[in-house]
Amino acid sequence: MKKKSRFLQTPIEPFMVESGLASHEVLARMERISFQGRNLATAHRIWHRMLEDDVTIFLGMAGALSAGGLRLVVAHLIAHRYVDCLVSTGANLYHDLHETRGQRHYVGSPHADDAALAEEHIDRVYDTYASEDEFVANDIWIADYAATLELRPYTTREFLYLLGGHLWKTTKRDGILTAAYRANVPIFCPAIADSSIGMGLSQARQKIASAGHIDTIGDIVESANMVIQRPRTASIVLGGGTPKNFINQATVQAEFYSPQVAGHRYALQIVTDVPHFGGASGSSLEEAQSWGKLGADSPRVSVQADATIALPLLVSALATTAPPVLARRKVPIFTLASRTMTIDGQTVSSDRFEEVNEPAV
């Protein structure tokens, strides 16, 4: 009898419908189906492995996820320390601030009469509406706060911690910025100028010369020094964009100054972009290995899916399966209230890279 091929060992198991299945049970069954369903189940398993290991977990957030209803999912991940550092677009943080201040986004239609919306000062994000007048008020609120700060440069990490604190003190509402402030989790926003937060900062400078001075190069130095201090890292990316590359370049820049750094130990991405057009958002995790962004033997998975579908199911499953792991997880401890951040009591400079020499043989 011919020996069965080594490629034909694990059969696909048709998904069996059963009432009352919890989200983690659904994902467990999806491990034996195909395509992005299996990849999403694998993402659940890899995220668990990150939590069980001694790694600093970076979360990248791009796309219109806050406007699209996922901001409290991200706030949950921060508050319960499923992640240790957020890198976000400015738009996600701005739309989070919008709702934390008591305003809303509204169910709309992608087939709306946009000229009619413009007449009523309604802004559209695909099938979601928001008030332009409320956005203007947000910009003024940000400008007024930024104008009260000491006139000096701020990294985005320092400014967003202060902004989150002001937002918490004035609203006492849950959100991404307020969760990060309360949990002492750093947020970086490398493209802050490309957002309404950047517009608010520019309006602060219109009020007071030299206000709204953001040091984004300091973000590069500080994030790389975080990796130098804790060289075992993991990357979770939602939607690609600038946050994805910023997280990856932190390990590359850190490796330039420290031989202990060898790329992320784990990587998980949920993206809709594809690699064959050459953009960073859709680039594969295998491609990241060629840059030294990801370790050669690192567990990894790409889920080609809309995050509004994949993330609620994935995080709901983790909320059931991960608490025992979270209870014993040793998380990095940050202090964030000043220009100089610390991690586990060690200073993390935003001015100069920490240089670590090769260990003596």
- pLDDT higher than threshold 80 for residue 245: yes
pLDDT digit string (tens) for 66-90? 999 999 999 999 999 999 999 999 9
- pLDDT higher than threshold 80 for residue 177: yes
Q: What percent of the chain has a predicted confidence (pLDDT) above 90?
A: 91
Confirm if 77 and 253 have CB atoms less than 8 A apart: no
Query: Which region, left, alpha or beta, applies to residue 121 given φ > 0 means left and ψ of -120 to 50 means alpha?
Result: left
For this structure, is 330 an active site residue? no
pLDDT digit string (tens) for 335-346? 999 999 999 999
β-strands 266-271, 85-88 pairing: unpaired
pLDDT digit string (tens) for 275-333? 898 888 889 998 888 998 899 899 999 999 999 999 999 999 999 999 999 999 999 99
Q: What is residue 82's DSSP assignment?
A: S
162-168 mean pLDDT: 98
- pLDDT higher than threshold 50 for residue 361: no
Domains of the chain, start order: 23-104+135-348 (3.40.910.10)
- pLDDT higher than threshold 60 for residue 172: yes
DSSP calls for 133-183: HHHHHHHHHHHHHHTTS-SS-B-HHHHHHHHHHHHHHHH---SHHHHHHHH
pLDDT digit string (tens) for 118-152? 999 999 999 999 999 999 999 999 999 999 999 99
Confirm if 307 and 70 have CB atoms less than 8 A apart: yes
Which DSSP helix (H) or strand (E) runs through 94?
A: helix 90-100
Q: How far apart are CA 200 and CA 351, in angstroms?
A: 26
Q: How confident is the model at residue 356 (pLDDT cuts 50, 70, 90)?
A: confident
pLDDT digit string (tens) for 34-43? 999 999 999 9
**Which single residue is written with the structure tokens 């009352």?**
20
Q: How confident is the model at residue 3 (pLDDT cuts 50, 70, 90)?
A: confident
- pLDDT higher than threshold 50 for residue 360: no
Q: What is the mean pLDDT of the chain?
A: 96
Confirm if 228 and 252 have CB atoms less than 8 A apart: no
Query: Which region, left, alpha or beta, applies to residue 210 given φ > 0 means left and ψ of -120 to 50 means alpha?
Result: left
DSSP calls for 8-70: S-S---PPPP-TT--HHHHHHHHTTS-HHHHHHHHHHHHHHHHHHSS-EEEEEE-SSTTTTT-
Q: How confident is the model at residue 194 (pLDDT cuts 50, 70, 90)?
A: very high
Q: Is 146 exposed, middle or buried (0-12, 13-18, 19+ CB in 10 A)?
A: buried
pLDDT on residue 114: 98
- pLDDT higher than threshold 80 for residue 357: no
Residue 340 CA: distances (Å) to CA of 52, 230, 351: 29, 17, 9
pLDDT on residue 306: 97
Q: How confident is the model at residue 358 (pLDDT cuts 50, 70, 90)?
A: low
Residue 252 CA: distances (Å) to CA of 55, 292, 343: 17, 6, 20
The number of residues making up the chain comes to 361
Confirm if 121 and 188 have CB atoms less than 8 A apart: no
**Which single residue is written with the structure tokens 């199911």?**
313
The residues near 361 (Cβ < 8 Å, ≥ 6 apart) are none
User: Could you say which of 4, 244, 293, 330 is catalytic?
Assistant: 293
Q: What is residue 275's DSSP assignment?
A: G
pLDDT on residue 7: 94
